[in-house]
């Protein structure tokens, strides 16, 4: 089972790139963030033509999340289980069952600046995510939580920790919220395969940051323990960040031997 996550920063602007990437990367499940589309505008037929079912949660110009699956897509639920989001403002969380795995795609708020109301709202949103997981999933079940977390989990995930400290994405409370998800029972799948530093998923468009390799690893695939023991491969596809009109994020791919011994692209059950 190949799971991928990608903040595309406008699906309308990058649909052709996403279609091309699906054709060569061939994920079984792709979670998208920042589609910046309303549900009615989603190019569903384009994805169906490539063999993917689609669930989407979006209201228009901002945010928007989607799950594409070619191994089945059941029970899609938008928003938190305990408090539905205002669809005109949020559209940051979507869950569905794909091939026997509960998949959750997230686009966690940016936070803007430490100490602001936006930062506090980010921490509250992350606490709501933990509550949502604890009421809808069990850590001994196959669960994947992935997307743009807008948090670099530790200093290995930042181009220059001394320059980044004091800002959002690296503050102790944000990192503590990610750690709380790990304590609940999730595992950072990428780190099961790669322990070294300076492996990033996001680079600012400005000042040539991508070419200078000034970035952060803020896109994560977190998996429950039954899946963590079966992670076989992980890759940040930097090539998808190159070329004309790229997103500022690169896709993150994780391969999981689930169902055990199953063929890729084959639904469970």
Q: For the CA atoms of the chain, what is the radius of gyration?
A: 17
In the residue annotation, 107 being an active-site residue is answered as yes
User: Which of 106, 175, 185 is closest to 143 using CA atoms?
Assistant: 185
User: Which of 91, 215, 116, 108 is closest to 151 using CA atoms?
Assistant: 108
Place of tokens 């468009």: 205
Of 28, 39, 148, 157, the active-site residue reads 148
* Strands in 119-180 per DSSP E: 143-148
DSSP element (H, E) containing 154? none
* Strands in the chain per DSSP E: 2-7, 29-33, 53-57, 65-69, 74-78, 93-98, 101-107, 143-148, 186-188, 202-203, 215-216, 219-224, 231-236, 252-256
Q: Are 170 and 111 in contact (CB under 8 A)?
A: no
Q: Is 161 exposed, middle or buried (0-12, 13-18, 19+ CB in 10 A)?
A: middle
Of 39, 52, 107, 248, the active-site residue reads 107
In angstroms, the CA 188 to CA 178 distance is 10
Q: How many other CB atoms are found less than 10 A from the CB of residue 93?
A: 26
φ/ψ of residue 75, rounded to 5: 50, 55
Q: Are 6 and 260 in contact (CB under 8 A)?
A: no
Q: How many other CB atoms are found less than 10 A from the CB of residue 89?
A: 10
Active site residues per annotation: 107, 148
């Amino acid at each position: 089972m190949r799971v991928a996550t990608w903040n595309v920063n406008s699906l309308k602007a990058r649909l052709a790139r996403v279609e091309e990437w699906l054709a060569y990367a061939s994920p079984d499940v792709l979670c998208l963030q920042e589609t910046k589309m309303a549900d009615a505008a989603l190019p569903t037929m384009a994805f169906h033509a490539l063999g993917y079912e689609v669930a989407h949660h979006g209201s228009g110009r901002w945010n928007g999340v989607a799950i594409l699956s070619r191994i089945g897509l059941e029970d899609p639920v938008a928003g938190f289980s305990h408090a539905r989001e205002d669809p005109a403002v949020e559209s940051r969380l979507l869950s569905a069952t794909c091939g026997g795995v509960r998949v959750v795609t997230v686009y966690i708020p940016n936070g803007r600046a430490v100490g602001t109301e936006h930062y506090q709202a980010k921490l509250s949103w992350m606490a709501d995510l933990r509550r949502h997981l604890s009421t809808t999933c069990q850590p001994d079940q196959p669960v994947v939580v992935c997307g743009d977390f807008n948090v670099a989990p530790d200093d290995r995930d930042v181009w220059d920790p001394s320059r980044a400290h004091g800002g959002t994405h690296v503050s102790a409370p944000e990192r503590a919220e990610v750690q709380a998800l790990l304590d609940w029972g999730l595992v950072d799948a990428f780190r099961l395969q790669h322990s070294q530093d300076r492996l990033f998923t996001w680079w600012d468009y400005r000042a040539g940051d991508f070419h200078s390799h000034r970035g952060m690893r803020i896109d994560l695939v977190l998996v429950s323990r039954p899946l963590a023991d079966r992670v076989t491969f992980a890759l940040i596809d930097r090539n998808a960040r190159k070329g004309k009109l790229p997103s500022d994020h690169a896709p993150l791919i994780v391969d999981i031997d689930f169902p055990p011994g199953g063929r890729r692209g084959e639904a469970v059950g």
